[in-house]
């Protein structure tokens, strides 16, 4: 008989005579709660590009989620799956997601969730919190993008994809990837001294209005501020009004192509991302991939990133951004030593794709070994949450959300 290894326990098994062993790398189909790639730097574009050959990736539709065939359901920003401006449609979406979760349980389809943010950036309805709690109860594997993300209540951290099963999900760290390969064929211009840049979607939590107000109080005539990105929540007129008050500020208020993005970032001496709350950010990785320093709010995640990439690439500040902080950052980056490029090894998307595939195998193994709680059940929290353990790779595996638009910018 042919020996094989059980993915759940690691124990050897035997295959009956005349039958073939299960493949060690079985083909899998995963349904992501994201729309299809569109050839830009959106998170899903990079996920698909780095997926191993054994993995078939499908993209979200309610018909596919409710009626389609897939081996795993991978959720990102689940709040956007159920949100709708219409209260009635939001109710229908929450009900549909609950049906999807029940279907996954009945068909033994593991649910995986990538934890992009500590909490939704814009608050939802109370009913949304309840369905998101149901998602967490049904999740077999939580993937966090940096090792500082808190472990969900009832889950246990696993330092590697070791098929370790837990009471309510396994937590793995698979860092956000870089964009060096993505931008390799695009021309990156030389830095324009004194040029500060904000780029990305312009949303309330990203603090663009604060940056405009702070820059207006800086008197240095050699500094310029450039704002690039598509506004939302009525912030376009706010930015346009600020530009009229200071001719050192300019903006391109739309979604830009990759080539335009590389040009804008390349011209910047410093990328400033003054988020009111930052835990993971694809925009930081875009800037670092193009060898441009960034100024970001102080946080455990940003401190870890600064240590990983090396001195002179990630500058942090505490409290509210002010003119003194901005000017000091410019002066410091001009005097600090730094390597030719930041250290981003292990953040290539093929490495990330392989780690994610192994996480899928772990999720399927865990589901075979134990009964996971259903979407309507309560799971008691442990008296003391376990401590985090090391990640799958050096710092491998934010971006910005939406079932329709999941871009880092």
Same domain, 188 and 273: yes
Q: Phi, psi (5° rounding) for residue 228?
A: -130, 120
Instruction: Please tell me what DSSP assigns to residue 167.
Output: B
Same domain, 42 and 167: yes
On the CB side of 210, CA atoms within 13 Å amount to: 17
Same domain, 115 and 188: no
Q: Report if residue 365 sits inside a domain.
A: yes
CATH number at residue 165: 3.40.50
Quote the pLDDT of residue 122.
67
Same domain, 14 and 136: yes
> Taking a C-beta distance cutoff of 8 angstroms, is the pair 22, 324 a contact?
no
Quote the pLDDT of residue 157.
53
Quote the pLDDT of residue 39.
74
Q: Which domain holds residue 73?
A: 2-177+349-369
Note the pLDDT tens digit of each residue in 168-197: 568 889 999 999 999 999 999 999 999 999
Same domain, 252 and 131: no
Quote the pLDDT of residue 153.
63
Quote the pLDDT of residue 22.
45
Q: Which residues contact 332 (CB under 8 A, 6 or more apart)?
A: 315
Quote the pLDDT of residue 209.
95
Quote the pLDDT of residue 37.
79
Same domain, 162 and 122: yes
Picking from 290, 342, 311, the residue whose alpha carbon sits closest to that of residue 179 is 290
Q: Report if residue 256 sits inside a domain.
A: yes
pTM for the whole thing? 0.78
DSSP string, 382-407: PSSPPPP---SSSS-------SS---
> Taking a C-beta distance cutoff of 8 angstroms, is the pair 245, 216 a contact?
yes
Q: Report if residue 406 sits inside a domain.
A: no
Residue 57 token pair: 């990736």
Note the pLDDT tens digit of each residue in 248-300: 999 999 999 999 999 999 999 999 999 988 888 899 999 999 999 999 999 99
Low-confidence ranges of the chain (pLDDT < 50): 1-22, 158-167, 372, 376-407
CATH number at residue 315: 3.40.50.2000
Number of domains in the chain: 2
């Amino acid at each position: 008989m042919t020996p094989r290894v059980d993915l759940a326990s690691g124990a050897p098994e035997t295959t009956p005579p005349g039958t073939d062993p299960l493949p060690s790398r079985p083909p899998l189909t995963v349904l992501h709660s994201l729309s299809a790639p569109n050839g830009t730097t959106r998170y899903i574009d990079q996920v698909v590009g780095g997926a191993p050959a054994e993995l078939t990736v499908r993209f979200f539709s309610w018909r596919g989620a409710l009626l389609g065939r897939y081996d795993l359901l991978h959720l990102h920003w689940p709040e956007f799956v159920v949100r709708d401006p219409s209260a009635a449609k939001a109710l229908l979406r929450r009900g549909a997601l609950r049906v999807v979760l029940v279907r996954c349980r009945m068909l033994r389809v593991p649910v995986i969730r990538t934890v992009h943010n500590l909490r939704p950036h814009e608050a939802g309805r109370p009913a949304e919190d309840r369905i998101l709690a149901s998602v967490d109860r049904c999740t077999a594997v939580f993937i966090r993008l940096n090792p500082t993300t808190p472990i969900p209540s009832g889950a246990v951290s696993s330092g590697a994809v070791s098929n370790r099963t837990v009471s309510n999900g396994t937590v793995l760290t698979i860092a956000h990837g870089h964009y060096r390969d993505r931008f390799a064929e695009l021309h990156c211009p030389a830095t324009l001294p004194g040029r500060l840049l904000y780029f990305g979607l312009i949303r309330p939590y990203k603090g663009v209005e604060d940056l405009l107000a702070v820059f207006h109080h800086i008197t240095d005539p050699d500094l310029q501020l450039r704002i690039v990105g598509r506004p939302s929540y009525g912030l376009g007129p706010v930015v346009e009004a600020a530009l009229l008050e200071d001719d050192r500020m300019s903006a391109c208020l739309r979604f830009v192509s990759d080539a335009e993005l590389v040009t804008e970032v390349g011209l910047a001496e410093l990328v400033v991302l003054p988020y009111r709350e930052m835990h993971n950010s694809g925009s930081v990785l875009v800037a670092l991939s193009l060898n441009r320093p960034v100024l970001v709010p102080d946080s455990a995640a940003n401190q870890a990133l600064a240590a990983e990439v090396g001195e002179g690439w990630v500058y942090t500040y505490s409290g509210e951004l002010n003119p003194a902080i901005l000017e000091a950052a410019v002066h410091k980056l001009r005097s600090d030593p730094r390597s030719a490029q930041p250290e981003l090894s292990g953040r290539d998307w093929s490495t990330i794709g392989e780690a994610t595939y192994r996480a899928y195998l772990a999720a399927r193994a865990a589901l075979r070994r134990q009964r996971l709680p259903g979407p309507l059940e309560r799971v008691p929290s442990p008296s003391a949450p376990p401590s985090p353990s090391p990640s799958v790779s050096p710092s491998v595996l934010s971006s910005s959300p939406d079932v329709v638009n999941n871009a880092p910018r």
